[in-house]
Structure 1
Amino acid sequence: MDLNYTPEEEAFRQEVRDFLKENLSEELATKVRNGRELNRDDMVGWHATLQSRGWLAMTWPEEYGGPGWDAVQRHIFEEELALANAPRTVPFGLAMLGPVLIKFGTEEQKSTILPRILDGSDWWCQGYSEPGAGSDLASLKTRAVRDGDHYVINGQKTWTTLGQFADKIFCLVRTSTEGKPQQGISFVLVDLDTPGIEMRPIKLIEGGYEVNEVFFTDVRVPVSNLVGEENMGWTIAKYLLGHERTNIAGVGASYEALNQLKALARKVKRHGQPLAKDPLFAAKVAEVEIDLEAMRLTNLRMLFGSSDAQGSVSSMLKIKGTVIRQALNDLSRRALGPAAAPFPSEEVIGNYSVAPPEAASNAANYFNNRKLSIFGGSNEIQRNIITKETFGA
């Protein structure tokens, strides 16, 4: 298998770089580079910029408004966006619901919903996890009871990322209690303006607000909002999570984080010399870089071998990608020492800055990214998936 890029692929890479140079503002790139929290206008504006070029929904086929790229082009595009410190696109409508509707949705759902995702009319969030059903998603208890032409939904979802900006949510709900738990789950689309829905913020350890809990009390949803067949939700969930886990791997984002770490190690001094020359620290950086390169090659093998991000390969990428990103966060924190400690609200006291620019949000990002090995299916669960698919256990 030849993992080298063709001249056409390298030309495409240059086209992406030229686009980013012309359209990505330094202000927005700096915000991303320094780990600052993006607001709704930042994310919506960047989506509009990508859509103006037809590059927003990169996994969608051309007939639905996507660029029609192959897997390698998508990989190159994501890699260049990360290296340029462009914001990651909000995945819920674009990388999760969109592909689900294209594969399982009705023609009416496709024609109505997909264009509204592209033009920014709708902001979707994900209703999967519950207080007692996270990685063990089949244990979910949110019920949807059929009542004529509607489902009546009662229950609770948690860890709903960016739900405070959303006006729609796609949910896994229990429509049957017969048979195995996986067999009674359905995939339903819900308008967040529907009576009976309450969204409450969850404050994170570093003071940020990006996740929520959502309560459903006698929420009436049209049966036409069902995606696929009733009790088919587990099949759809596995398909969607394959896309999510590969996206979580973030190869390009980790390479950019590695570049920043190396630059920091050249700047910070220990015992009168750059930290980059410290043998122990340099060995730790080299270990992470070797793991990252191995993950990049695994990702490329998957891209050349199959267009579907499913099964044990996506689980392996999810595990390694999240572990590598956490290791980079940890090394950056260690390189900065006490300067890494302040949270964003503590960086300036009066007119005095207690941390250099490169330390901005370092502690907040370190704590926030502890979640990476948990969401999208915890790494422990992913290891079980790999074992079952590899050994049939």
Structure 2
Amino acid sequence: MNWEDTPEEAAFREEVRGFVKERFPAGYRPDRGGEHSLEPEDVWGYNWPADRVSDDPDRRDGALAWAAALAERGWITPHWPTEYGGAGLSTMREFILQEEMMRARVPTVNGIGAFLLGPTLLAAGTEEQKAEHLPPIARGERTWAQGFSEPESGSDLASVRTRAVRDGDDYVVNGQKVWTSLGQYADWLFVLVRTDPEAHRHKGLTFLLVDTRTPGVTVRPIVDIRGDTPFAEVFFSDARVPVANRVGEENRGWYVAMTALSFERAGIGATVKFEQALSSLVDYVNSEEGRRYLRADTTGLRQEIARRYAEVRVLYNLARYTVSKQVAGDVPGYEASVNQLFGAELAGRIARTGATAFGAFAELWGREGAPLGAAFTHLRLDSVAATFLGGTTEIQRNVIATRGLGLPR
């Protein structure tokens, strides 16, 4: 397939590069000592939802200024209609925008609200819901988190037990959500709750929008394997959520949730991140400093790095193929699972390749004085989460087998 830009796409790519160079705040720099979040589109050293409320005024002001600059062009929500603050870009131009921002190593803004909830409301929300929630997302003023997973309902999403009981104009919600990415920084949550415990498990669920300031909602950060807190658990104790905040019909929330998940990105963020990680590894091991840390036995290391480069190009082509289907008006199905599975497992292989290049020095966790600032040591722990973010590798294999290959369940 020919993935070359058309003349118009090439011009737009140059426009994006010029915009980033001109408008990205000079004082908004990576936090070298901090952990980035775990999502594929995260740029190391930045965590925009956290940065916007940081105690560091330079970081906070930089995050807000960057959001304002993107919002001027509708580039926080590039594919949305202009009436809701978007730019009305084509799928391919949205892809190019995301790719160039990743290559420039600048953070995207308002990811879950912009790329998951927003399109869901455009497809299934009421006019009142669209008017209330979409413009603040497009301006970078309201952040969202996804409240789907529960302690015993991660990959098996249909088994959620958080309960919502109708009481007049409200639902009274009780239960717990877990692994809520960046939940402690979210202004709002979209959650899947059970409203009919007697119905078939896929048919008794409802999709609700919940203000995190609601009495009875408690958000607690969870410390991960790295010692950081990229996600949280959320507790509901008689929290009253207006019926007006229900998206779609009662007991039909499963289908709304599947709409939300269908808007997962194509995966260009992971491709660029992996490509840059490998390039930094090659440059470093060829430097004088890098040679001091390089393990004595480098037999096969060159071939291993070459294999990782080839795999990154495969991932890039999977991402482009997913986008090409969207451009053609199709909805990616099992192809998205192929992309997710391949990218998740590639993250682990790249992390191992980079870490083992330094032998015993790969055990250094502190960034000061470690090879490449211990980047691959940290990536090894990040990559553990890649195998279940957005659906476990086992679930992805089931989707590929049944929907892609036509195998029986």
TM-score scaled by length of structure 1: 0.89
Give the counterpart of 2:91 among 71, 79, 84. Answer: 71
Question: What do residues 26-61 of structure 1 show as CA deviations (whole Å, max 9, x unaligned)?
Answer: 664554899336342355443233213321112323
Question: What do residues 254-284 of structure 1 show as CA deviations (whole Å, max 9, x unaligned)?
Answer: 2222322322232267888988x95511211
Structure 2 CA distance for partners of 1:282 and 1:28, relative to 1, 3 Å: farther
Question: What do residues 216-268 of structure 1 show as CA deviations (whole Å, max 9, x unaligned)?
Answer: 01111110000011122111222222223635862222222232232223226
Q: Does 1:379 align with 2:393?
A: yes
Asked whether the 8 Å contact 1:194–1:220 carries over to 2, the reply is: yes
2:135 partner amino acid: P
Asked whether the 8 Å contact 2:84–2:138 carries over to 1, the reply is: no
Structure 2 CA distance for partners of 1:252 and 1:15, relative to 1, 3 Å: same
2:309 partner amino acid: E
Structure 2 CA distance for partners of 1:278 and 1:26, relative to 1, 3 Å: farther
Structure 2 CA distance for partners of 1:245 and 1:78, relative to 1, 3 Å: closer
Asked whether the 8 Å contact 2:315–2:342 carries over to 1, the reply is: yes
Asked whether the 8 Å contact 1:265–1:274 carries over to 2, the reply is: yes
Structure-2 separation of matches of 1:376 and 1:296: 19
Q: Does the residue aligned with 1:182 lie in a helix, a strand or coil? A: coil
Asked whether the 8 Å contact 1:315–1:386 carries over to 2, the reply is: yes
Counterpart of 1:350 in structure 2 is none
Asked whether the 8 Å contact 1:29–1:85 carries over to 2, the reply is: no
Q: Does 1:332 align with 2:343?
A: no
Q: Which residues of 2 match residues 1-393 of structure 1 at below 5 A?
A: 2-25=2-25, 28=28, 30-31=30-31, 35-36=44-45, 38=47, 39-41=50-52, 42=59, 43-244=63-264, 246-247=266-267, 250-267=270-287, 278=298, 280-307=300-327, 310-343=332-365, 346-347=366-367, 353-355=368-370, 358-390=372-404, 391-393=406-408
2:369 partner amino acid: V
Q: Identity of counterpart residues, as a percentage?
A: 37
Structure 2 CA distance for partners of 1:44 and 1:223, relative to 1, 3 Å: same
More off after superposition, 284-293 vs 153-162: 284-293
Structure 2 CA distance for partners of 1:94 and 1:87, relative to 1, 3 Å: same
Structure-2 separation of matches of 1:180 and 1:8: 50
Q: Does the residue aligned with 1:181 lie in a helix, a strand or coil? A: coil
Structure-1 separation of matches of 2:109 and 2:345: 22
Structure-2 separation of matches of 1:268 and 1:313: 43
In the TM superposition, what is the alpha-carbon distance from 1:141 to its structure 2 partner? Answer: 0.3
Asked whether the 8 Å contact 1:336–1:359 carries over to 2, the reply is: no
Structure-2 separation of matches of 1:26 and 1:267: 28
In the TM superposition, what is the alpha-carbon distance from 1:93 to its structure 2 partner? Answer: 0.8
Larger helix fraction of residues: 1
Question: What do residues 330-355 of structure 1 show as CA deviations (whole Å, max 9, x unaligned)?
Answer: 22222344444344xx44xxxxx432
Asked whether the 8 Å contact 1:82–1:256 carries over to 2, the reply is: no
Structure-1 separation of matches of 2:102 and 2:135: 26
Structure-2 separation of matches of 1:127 and 1:83: 30
Count of residues paired in the alignment: 384
1:321 partner amino acid: G
In the TM superposition, what is the alpha-carbon distance from 1:169 to its structure 2 partner? Answer: 0.7
Structure 2 CA distance for partners of 1:274 and 1:201, relative to 1, 3 Å: closer
Structure-2 separation of matches of 1:385 and 1:245: 17
Please give the root-mean-square deviation of Cα atoms over the aligned residues, in Å.
2.6
Question: What do residues 155-176 of structure 1 show as CA deviations (whole Å, max 9, x unaligned)?
Answer: 0000111111112111011111
Counterpart of 2:40 in structure 1 is none
Structure-1 separation of matches of 2:291 and 2:375: 26
Question: What do residues 358-391 of structure 1 show as CA deviations (whole Å, max 9, x unaligned)?
Answer: 3255433321331011011111101101111121
Asked whether the 8 Å contact 1:40–1:165 carries over to 2, the reply is: no
More off after superposition, 135-144 vs 78-87: 78-87
The higher-RCO structure (CA 8 Å, 6+ apart) is 1
2:348 partner amino acid: Q
1:40 partner amino acid: D
Asked whether the 8 Å contact 2:148–2:177 carries over to 1, the reply is: yes
2:19 partner amino acid: F
| Structure 1: runs of 5 or more not aligned | 348-352
1:320 partner amino acid: F
Q: Does the residue aligned with 1:176 lie in a helix, a strand or coil? A: coil
Structure-2 separation of matches of 1:246 and 1:230: 30
More off after superposition, 34-43 vs 266-275: 266-275
Structure 2 CA distance for partners of 1:272 and 1:188, relative to 1, 3 Å: closer
Runs (4+) of structure 1 exceeding 6 A deviation are: 268-275
| Structure 2: runs of 5 or more not aligned | 37-42, 53-58
2:182 partner amino acid: L
2:203 partner amino acid: Q
Structure-2 separation of matches of 1:266 and 1:300: 32
Q: Does the residue aligned with 1:183 lie in a helix, a strand or coil? A: coil
Asked whether the 8 Å contact 2:110–2:137 carries over to 1, the reply is: no
TM-score scaled by length of structure 2: 0.86
Asked whether the 8 Å contact 1:28–1:86 carries over to 2, the reply is: no
1:331 partner amino acid: T
